[in-house]
Amino acid sequence: MIGRALLAGLLALCAAMLPAAAQTPSRLDAILATGTLRVGMPGDYAPFGLHDALTDTWRGLDVDEARAMAQALGVRLALVQTSWKTLLPDLLEGKFDIGAGGVSVTLARQAHAFFSTPLLRDGKTPITDCRNVEKFQSLAQIDRPRVRVLTNPGGTNEAFDRAHLHVATIVVFPDNTHIFEALLAGRGDLMITDATEAMLQHRLHPALCAVHPDHPFEVSEKAYLLPRDVPLQQWVDQFLHMQRERGALAALIARWLD
């Protein structure tokens, strides 16, 4: 009898909680109610999201996808500039609804937030003066005295360097939009970054070569960073699914990466 009474009490408690849970508005409801989708990006990472401060304009793969999301929802798009160091805290504080701009999926971020289904596969690989490609094939070759590794602050590039390099000098360069010019100018020997960025920068700066972009040191994925809001995550995942089925996502990837 005690067991049945306990079970009945638990069922009654669950029943009482269901209506309240069902009435809890999601971030998706708020986006539709306000008529604005806010997408946060650091704005310094080609080809995913670049912000021109002089003209206050944005361009990149994730910028185009953000515009397509807003159009699909029938709302306006507001792009919010953040930084790699503050991307997750800003999302958790509600400064924007979705984090984008070339976000790598990491377990550290996923401990506090959701990710969408991945857009593409990526991974960390060196980029260096083309004359030095054979010198920096492995982490053992890189992690040596007098080797200078450039990195942008606060993101997965710096985290990777600090986790794997113990002898080489890590040089933090604060401006990610000009870090490859600094590499060309000899302010560092190499940079370890995502293969997508390394290949793009080789096309922009032919004197720099991606060392082994098809075989990165570790595999990662690019996705959108989301608050722990199931309806919003489900909507974004379905949006990306439809983008893939229509060929729109492949076309954007080809446009910005190829």
Residue-wise pLDDT for 96-107, tens only, equals: 999 999 999 999
Q: What is the pLDDT of residues 166-198, one digit of tens each?
A: 999 999 998 888 999 999 999 999 999 999 999
Q: What is the pLDDT of residues 140-153, one digit of tens each?
A: 999 999 999 999 99
Which pLDDT does position 7 carry in this prediction?
A: 41
Q: Is residue 3 scored above 90 in pLDDT? A: no
Residues 34, 27: Cα–Cα separation, whole Å: 11
Residues 150, 148: Cα–Cα separation, whole Å: 6
Q: What is the pLDDT of residues 207-231, one digit of tens each?
A: 999 999 999 999 899 999 999 999 9
Which pLDDT does position 1 carry in this prediction?
A: 42
Q: Are 114 and 130 contained in the same domain?
A: no
Q: What is the pLDDT of residues 58-68, one digit of tens each?
A: 999 999 999 99
The pTM of this model reads: 0.78
Q: Kindly calculate the radius of gyration of the chain based on its CA atoms and give it in whole angstroms.
A: 22
Q: Is residue 238 scored above 50 in pLDDT? A: yes
Neighbours of 114 (CB within 10 A): 18
Residue-wise burial string across 168-177, b where 16 or more C-beta atoms lie within 10 A, e elsewhere: bebbebeebe
Q: Are 185 and 148 contained in the same domain?
A: yes
Mean pLDDT, the chain, as a whole number? Answer: 91
Which pLDDT does position 155 carry in this prediction?
A: 86
Is the residue at 11 inside a domain?
Answer: no
Angle between helices 230-246 and 61-73 (to 10 degrees): 110
Q: Are 196 and 252 contained in the same domain?
A: no
Is the residue at 48 inside a domain?
Answer: yes
Sorted by sequence, the CB contacts under 8 Å of residue 87 that are 6+ apart come out as 40, 42, 99, 103, 225
Q: Are 112 and 30 contained in the same domain?
A: yes
Name the residue range of residue 134's domain. 124-219
Look up the CATH number of the domain holding residue 186: 3.40.190.10
Mean pLDDT of 66-76: 98
Q: How many domains does the chain have?
A: 2
Q: Is residue 120 scored above 70 in pLDDT? A: yes
Q: Are 112 and 232 contained in the same domain?
A: yes
Q: Are 53 and 91 contained in the same domain?
A: yes
Q: Are 159 and 234 contained in the same domain?
A: no
Q: Are 35 and 162 contained in the same domain?
A: no
Angle between helices 230-246 and 248-257 (to 10 degrees): 80
